[in-house]
Structure 1
């Protein structure tokens, strides 16, 4: 049995589409064949809620009188990038307080970052703005102090260069002191293990070669409607894979875009990792159209069918030693064995909220609020991963 996205959209518009969350599908496949499930369901919804620090917001303030061309700008003390249009800004989620402008470098200053400002703007809060301008004949204003909100600025949308990793790693610390990382604190002597993927419920692991997701795919983004804009940075679809085609570590990523004025602050939250920095907790939901049996077969993977590498962060190198692979059923049990030692595990991804996002997206589709889009172009599946090497001057022999 085969369907097209246009045929599925007709059923959505008529209120006749059958939509299951990914968790519901996996449960029903215990008693249904892949062929029968394909006949019954039109769309499978997936979701994740996790820190996504490679995120940020484009903001257009609107012209001032007299006009200003921004040279430097701070939103509630957080620097925003100003190197393009006169009153355009990009505020990175991981950007922290400019210690020089605030008179100190205490770690407490770094607990509030760009992600918190983005979340506050989405929540409708007023944010103080301070700016310095380039004085020119076109833009004679030298400085600006004001207060902005999402209702007083022209554009406010998220553009996230790297979200939705297809898979990720498990972080541990084999050293003698605590480490503060983008996975959170890692305790010494293998005191804990942190993973950052939903396993078999992770959206892109159920579409391993991005057959269903491409440029222009409509998604749930931060409680509003967003789109896949491009491949994400560090997109690495050539990652090694198991026989079931799932990657054994970080692989595909997506760049996402969406109107932040329409987002829900429940699904966009600033967060902070102790001694590491600010980030953004973000909810993303991806619909998977059931075009044929292959879609269901891919979605049949279980946590025990997907693995991630255990990486030792105590070695400060780009390529760190590993303690082998572990599957997500073991990770979700709350403990794993590493070299004979029992190590407790915890997810960085909220598995509960991830499933709630899939349920919200299901409701949107069933109510006709959300229809599917045909990608306008596929995402590349041949990108290599290129590390950066520091420049070393040539040695000249006398």
Structure 2
């Protein structure tokens, strides 16, 4: 295969390169067409990614107004001060973990905070100095000369389905409500055939220094992430928060507290035969482990065909079918707080909606509907069929992101980079 990043960039500049989304490539493969002529595949994912943190630096007071900050809270979310003390500068250097929760609102976490910052919303900052003086101020992202998001464990080569095999309900980050017992429901994570690492599982094209979009902002891959393994690699990267699109990030409430949503879009240059084979693999061919949350052990295997083939990527909303229950379970349990009422009229905020589908399983009327599919796998000596009740990956927006990256590449506003070094899983 006589292709290089340099030659592909030249072809893009001349308008001769074949750049397709991962979805388009799979549709070619379904029609039996040749995928070897593809130069670049744009792949994407949007999902809950716990291994997220941000480093922020910004002024909060005049120089010499205090020596050092001891504690800092942003919208109630505790920040980790340092490592630089910024003695007497009136400036804070902070680290915020994506899984940190607000002390003021148990439904609000750092993921929500990151989205508020990207949206330009003012954020309340409470500072406790080293001599126990407390003061408050407000900041926006524009007040921060430095605001970087990092991923310590992002973009797994897909992930898993989750079930509860015990006789009791289980609180878990893998469900928005307590997990029902005895294989009554399943949740899933992973965008299947459009997932970035699925399209380059040997990491021949994706490497250290590969330019990506994280939440719509340009960033770079740094290497493999924590718990990365050859059979299930994941990546670490960073991007400037100033260019991030709030629609593709945010917080997601689980029964174990708020989690962090992150989106990736990755260009995969087709420079190796292994990439040609991988990009043609469809959801029904991608193995998916089924994990029991009650014991955090694998109990079987299915495929992403069960998750993404012949299902609805978006929830159908019919407000006129509302029967005005005394307690609206979808509103009460929506992990994105996307459902509200104006008097007795139910409303769905599509911008906030993650398309997780939980509302379709909780609504006793037909306000929220959608085909979510079910997981089929062998468990011991019998076959199990477990309905999917929650998706922690938003394939609809991941498809949008892969299309946006394709457009950026073709118009010349996003340039493919040559990796500095291969990633060792």
Normalising by the residue count of structure 2, what TM-score does the alignment of the two structures yield? Answer: 0.77
- Give 3-state SS (helix, strand or coil) of 2:6's partner: helix
Map residues 127-206 of structure 1 onto 2, 5 A cutoff: 127-134=123-130, 142-184=133-175, 185=177, 186-206=179-199
Residue deviations 1:54-77, cap 9 Å, x none?
A: 112110013732344221100011
**Which residue in the other structure is 1:269 paired with?**
250
Q: Deviations over 1:264-294 (max 9, x none)?
A: 11111222113x1112222211111122444
Change (3 A) 1:369 1:90: same
1:290 to 270, 282, 286: 270
Counterpart Cα distance in 1 of 2:375 and 2:239: 38
Instruction: Classify the secondary structure of the residue corresponding to 2:143.
Output: coil
For residue 66 of structure 1, what is the aligned residue in structure 2?
63
Taking the aligned partners of 2:185 and 2:2, their CA distance within structure 1 comes to: 46
> Per the alignment, do residues 230 and 64 of structure 1 end up closer, same or farther by CA in structure 2, a change over 3 Å counting?
farther
**CA–CA distance in 1 between the matches of 2:150 and 2:299?**
36
Find the counterpart in structure 1 of residue 202 from structure 2: 209
| 2:394 is the alignment partner of 1:361 | no
What is the total number of aligned residue pairs between the two structures? 347
SS where residue 378 of structure 1 aligns? coil
Q: Counterpart of 2:108? A: 112
Tell me the equivalent position of 1:242: none
Q: Kindly tell me: are residues 63 and 182 of structure 1, through their superposed partners in 2, closer, same or farther at Cα, counting changes over 3 Å?
A: closer
CA-to-aligned-CA distance 1:16-40 (integer Å, 9 cap, x gap): 3321001111111234554xx323x
| SS, match of residue 115 in structure 1 | helix
C-alpha separation between the residues in 2 aligned to 1:14 and 1:194?
45
Q: Could you tell which deviates more after superposition, 114-123 or 192-201? A: 192-201
For residues 117-128 of structure 1, the aligned pairs below 5 Å read: 117-128=113-124
Q: CA deviation at 1:180?
A: 2.3
- The residue number in structure 1 matching 2:300 is 324
Render the CA deviation track for 1:200-232: whole Å, top value 9, x for unaligned. 222101211111111111001101111112321
**Greater relative contact order structure (CA < 8 Å, 6+ sep):** 1
Partners of 2:297 and 2:101 lie apart in 1 by 31
Superposed, 1:18-37 pairs within 5 Å as 18-31=18-31, 34=34, 37=35
Gaps of 5+ in 2: 86-91, 310-372
Question: How much does 1:311 deviate?
Answer: 1.6
- Separation in 2, partners of 1:378, 1:70: 40
Cα deviation, 1:224-275, whole Å, max 9, x if unaligned, reads 11111232111122xxxxxxxxx3xxx211111001011111111222113x
Distance 2:129 2:224 in 1: 34
Aligned mates of 2:277, 2:208 — CA distance in 1: 24
Over residues 76-119 of structure 1, what are the superposed CA-to-partner deviations in whole Å (9 max), with x where a residue is unaligned? Answer: 11100003113210111110123xxx5xxxxxx32101111111
Counterpart contact for 2:204–2:275, Cα < 8 Å: no
Structural RMSD (CA) = 1.9
CA distance in 2, matches of 1:299, 1:189: 37
Distance 1:266 1:336 in 2: 29
What are the ranges of 5 or more consecutive residues in structure 1 without an aligned counterpart? 103-108, 136-140, 238-246, 382-398
* TM-aligned CA deviation for residue 308 of structure 1: 2.0
Contact kept in structure 1, 2:200 and 2:274, CA below 8 Å: no
> Structure 1 CA distance, aligned partners of 2:305 and 2:156?
19
Give the deviation of 1:341 after TM superposition: 4.1
